A and B are shown apart, each in its own frame.
Chain A
Amino acid sequence: MADKYAKIGDYTAAEAMVINAARFLKNFDCQKGLIGTGLPLVATQLAKLLYSPNMIIFVETGQADAKPEELPISIMDSRLTYGSSWQMGDPEGLFPLSRGEIDFGFIGGAQIDKYGNVNSTFIGGDYNKPAKRLAGTAGAVDIGVFAKTTVTLMAHQKRRVVEKVDYLTTPGWMVKKWPSGEMVRREEMGMQGGPNAFISTLGIMKYDEDSRIMYVDKIFPGVTPDDIKNSTGFDIDVSRASENEQLLLEEIKILREKIDPLNVYGMR
């Protein structure tokens, strides 16, 4: 049976991240997900095919129960329209979220902190003079506030996985209470849910039940606990980590040939 598994080097880090994310979405079969733009769309498309065929897809541009036959390029792509139960606009796409109906949100980002707060607005400097401006809040802030839980997908690098985000776009477990800006637990703000997992290019991180601090739950094959520690900007707990099952050749084949044959998403 050895040949059903892919070897390290047969796939890229981005592909490992997306395939592991698709597997992880098994946990959300039959649930309602609001999917963000970028690689979350790719992982969702793969998951629908392989692991969670009954997942109900919403995106913020107003489809209900989208069933795209081809991988959408963006959340506005008409590939999401064809086959949907309903096609309206952004209000109708986001109001299920603000009504509290969305079971999970699935987003990317540029920076994540140990409480699962995500930044997709700027890195370095100040909002008024950023070293690097990013894509902005988009729906990511709304998903963090309103979804029952969130899954974040992002490359694992020291400058991305940090103690504290430069700008808090998507609220995680510890959020800012204004006008003072002090950090409080999200429950204190009356916000439901909280982040479920951070899936990176190196492993799957979960959040401690009590402290709500991120720890390593699964490590991808070929990655060591030290690799994760060295790529994380805070002292991350790796003591609970176990190794994830290797990628299947079949998963890589489907991702490359059926999901993104033109490599629109530049995963390879």
Chain B
Amino acid sequence: MQKYFFDKHKSNKENKLVSLKEAISTINDGDVLFLGSFVDTRRPMAAAYEIVRQAKKGLILLAECSLAEDILVGNGCAIAWRGCYTGMATFGLSPATLRKIEKREFFPDEIGHIDIILGSMAAMVGSPFVATSATLGSDVVNEEYSRNEYLKNAAGNPEMIPHQKFVLMEDPFYGKGTIKLQPAMPADVAIIHVQQAGEKGTARIFGSLGFDHYFVHGARRVILTAEQVLPEEYLRRDPNRNQIPCTAVDMVVEVPWGGHPSQVQNFYDIDIPFIKEYVSSAKTEDGFASWIEEWVINLDCRDKYLDKLGAGRIQGLRTLPPYGYRQRFR
């Protein structure tokens, strides 16, 4: 019996730099995929665009269907999702995801936010499950709504999906009543966008870590896209400031502005008009298709994308010290 979810042996290469095309080409159809960070901040947008260009199929998404994932769902790259959020904060609900769910072309499986954290924590510590009272009393623990079977059948690698969504039991240790056993939530691939990475994979994040510092240890393969690739040695002068160790990372890709239109603290602020335009376009099948054509298919690298955005626009997004965002009034 294999005790672990996968062979955690990572590459020990001194230089893990690859191109975005090469990194994304390692993703298989049917993989369980985690895209790092949350909602509208530090999202691996360039990576999501490349997944669309490489026309991946049957992906199972973890955690959320927000800014980056919605593009994959709309393009038919993903078939199902286990997570807690299908919105885009102030910009409304995730338009393509909603459309596909309501048309039964994409299948959600609801868990809570703490469930995701505990699932990734279990994968991180190498435990098959953890116990919690999260979501008790809610419909998250309604068996009728579980899509576990569907996820297991759809996964290219069914070992990434547990046999059951959860188990309820009585607390045998402290007598605290009913508790839920939450299974580990490993992934085939995690793609994390970070501000700074060394060529060997040491990475430094500014702002909320999301659960990236957990998930990098619970994924079979970890791809970093970075605003800046810096000498590994530079990041090692102050290792307390690093959140991702090189030992957890397989590939590093340098993609300046790789998080646009999301916000990347200390680099650029959120591009509100861009997201608003996406949300309104993606509400219809045709609108989504023409948006993808214009911003993803027709622009096969990040440089062309930036040229299309224009220097003036991106200059207006640059953040300033000491805030790490761009003040609305200066």
Contact = CB atoms under 8 A, between A and B. Distances in A.
Contacts of A81: 206-208, 265, 324
B5 interface: no
B299 interface: no
B113 A141 contact: yes
A264 interface: yes
B325 A90 contact: no
A60 to B, nearest CB: 6
Contact of A265 (B90, B112, B328): B90
Nearest to A167: B139
Contacts, number: 224
Report the interface size class on chain B: 35 or more
Contacts of A262: 328
Interface string B201-229: 00000111111111000000000000000
A38 interface: yes
A186 B208 CA distance: 33
A180 B327 CA distance: 52
Given A62-B208, A138-B84, A189 B134 contact: no
Contact of B113 (A74, A131, A138): A138
Contact of A261 (B110, B142, B328): B328
Chain B CB within 10 Å — which of A61, A97, A98, A262 has the most? A61
B120 to A, nearest CB: 8
A169 B93 contact: no
Interface in A41-79: 60-63, 69-70, 73-79
Interface in B74-132: 83-87, 89-90, 93, 97-98, 101-102, 104, 108, 110-114, 116-117, 121, 132
Contacts of B141: 176, 178
Given A90-B210, A98-B114, A169 B98 contact: no
A265 B211 CA distance: 27
Interface stretch (B7-15, B36-44, B248-256): B36-44
A222 interface: no
B177 interface: yes
Given A89-B210, A89-B211, A137 B39 contact: no
Contacts of A82: 322-325
Contacts of A87: 207-209
B39 A76 contact: yes
B40 A98 contact: no
Contacts of A191: 133, 136-137
26 contacts: A37-B90, A73-B40, A73-B89, A75-B39, A76-B40, A78-B207, A90-B210, A91-B214, A97-B114, A127-B144, A133-B93, A133-B97, A133-B98, A133-B102, A136-B86, A137-B110, A142-B135, A144-B137, A145-B134, A171-B136, A175-B137, A178-B141, A178-B142, A179-B168, A181-B142, A261-B328
Given A78-B266, A141-B113, A262-B328, 15 more contacts: A70-B327, A73-B270, A73-B272, A75-B39, A76-B208, A77-B325, A80-B208, A87-B208, A89-B212, A121-B139, A137-B84, A168-B139, A178-B142, A178-B143, A189-B177
